[in-house]
């Protein structure tokens, strides 16, 4: 449940910060161009525009409403918490099984691949400087 709320919050913040599509900026462009709107633009959209401050206030009120949800609906919150706990336990169980399986497969692969197949690894060792680099 916490993940869903955090995801919704960050998606809202992202949507708020992203620039508006071209058609949504038509009202601002129309105001600069003497009130001429492009063809097919709905005039009702101009009336529904809200500013950043109003959007922030609406978001704060919505967050307060969400915070009080469990107080108004304790049974729903209790069942949602139980469901979230079940999902978390399932994810942990099957995630650990996947990690064990991947680890076993990696060990099998390492045992099957001989050292020669991995290629001989050579280490570069410093050599004595030539006459050209010493200046002699």
First to last CA, the chain: 75
DSSP letter string over 51-91?
Answer: -HHHHHHHHHHHHHHHHTHHHH-HHHHHHHHHHHHHHHHHH
Ranges of each domain in the chain? 1-67, 73-112
pTM for this one? 0.38
pLDDT score of 70: 85
Mean pLDDT (the chain, rounded): 74
pLDDT score of 133: 60
Radius of gyration of the chain from its Cα atoms, rounded to whole angstroms: 31
């Amino acid at each position: 449940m916490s993940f869903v709320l955090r995801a919704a919050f960050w998606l809202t913040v992202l949507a708020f910060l992203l620039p508006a599509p071209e058609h949504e900026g038509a009202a601002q462009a129309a105001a600069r161009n003497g009130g001429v709107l492009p063809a097919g633009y709905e005039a009702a959209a101009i009336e529904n525009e809200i500013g950043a401050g109003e959007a922030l206030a609406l978001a704060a009120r919505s967050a307060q409403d969400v915070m009080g949800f469990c107080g108004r609906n304790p049974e729903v919150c209790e069942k949602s918490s139980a469901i979230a706990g079940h999902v978390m336990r399932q994810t942990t169980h099957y995630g650990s099984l996947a990690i064990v399986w991947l680890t076993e497969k990696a060990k099998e692969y390492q045992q099957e691949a001989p050292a020669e197949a991995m290629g001989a690894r050579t280490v570069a060792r410093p050599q004595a400087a030539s006459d050209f680099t010493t200046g002699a």
